[in-house]
Amino acid sequence: MAAEIIDGKLIASEIREELAKEVETLKAKGITPGLGVILVGLDPASMSYVTAKERACDALGLYSENIKLPAETTEEELLALVKEMNNNPKIDGILVQLPLPKHIDTDKVIMAIHPSKDVDGFHPESIGKMLMGKDTFLPCTPHGIIKLLLHSNVKVEGANVVVVGRSNIVGKPVANLLLNKSEGGNATVTVCHSRTRNMAEITKRADILIAAIGKAEFITSDMIKDGAVVIDVGVNRVEDSTKKRGYRLVGDVEFKTAVEKASKITPVPGGVGPMTITMLMYNTVQSAKNRK
């Protein structure tokens, strides 16, 4: 029997409906949540993400400043702009789109964002609070994954969860959120990565399998336990001459076979992706509440 499809678009739209009501309430009190987005260079994927964020802000009625800078922008110029947004009372959240050009120190830029406006959840203060289970801005994609599981009535507490991938953006933070003593947590978590031996033996024990390794269709059906819940974080371009644009998007999971083995699964696109931007909007609204 084919798996139930976890519809990220639908769940994201439900969360945005609630956010829109909160924005209306804040505006009635004279507060308009504001997001500042900085894009350096012309990376196509980054440009697409920034455009999607602009649309999300417009749809929810958020104030937004979107600054696009040339790739040759210096580190000093970027840091000065971040400082300017830190001091701008109309901006509740700052997002510097990654990746940055190689001549700019990404860590230095992340550190420059004031923790009170760190709506990406990447600042060391935010990460430290997350690890301690304290109230803070949570990284958007990991937080979105937790929301997907909760909205899909997946029992996380006590579940055996395997995360494939250990990036600072997804793998590590989602593993820690799943461990935390909070809603969507209390799981038993194993993290696999490029140096893991006999990975299939580990992934086949997972009640919930989260693939975030960045390799097209890396997780095959023989690596999945019957009835497991599969969350596919990957977005990979694969050449496809039958498509007008010359490629198609696939995840880190071989969907066509995994869908026959899992009990629930996220598609690519339309699964985790819509949740990432939604949780960015969520964090921005929360920041505006903090300002109030």
* Token couple for 264: 């629930």
Q: CA quadruple 57, 136, 96, 101: dihedral positive or negative? A: negative
* Token couple for 263: 């009990």
Please tell me which residue in 92, 97, 264, 286 is annotated as part of the active site.
97
Nearest to 62 by CA among 286, 291, 285, 292: 285
Catalytic annotation present for 53: yes
Please tell me which residue in 118, 120, 232, 252 is annotated as part of the active site.
120
**How many Å apart are CA 148 and CA 231, to the nearest integer?**
9
Residue 237: how many CA atoms within 13 Å on its side-chain side?
A: 8
DSSP state of 24: H
Report, in this order, helix, strand and coil percent for the chain, each rounded to 5.
40, 15, 40
Which of the residues are catalytic? 53, 97, 120
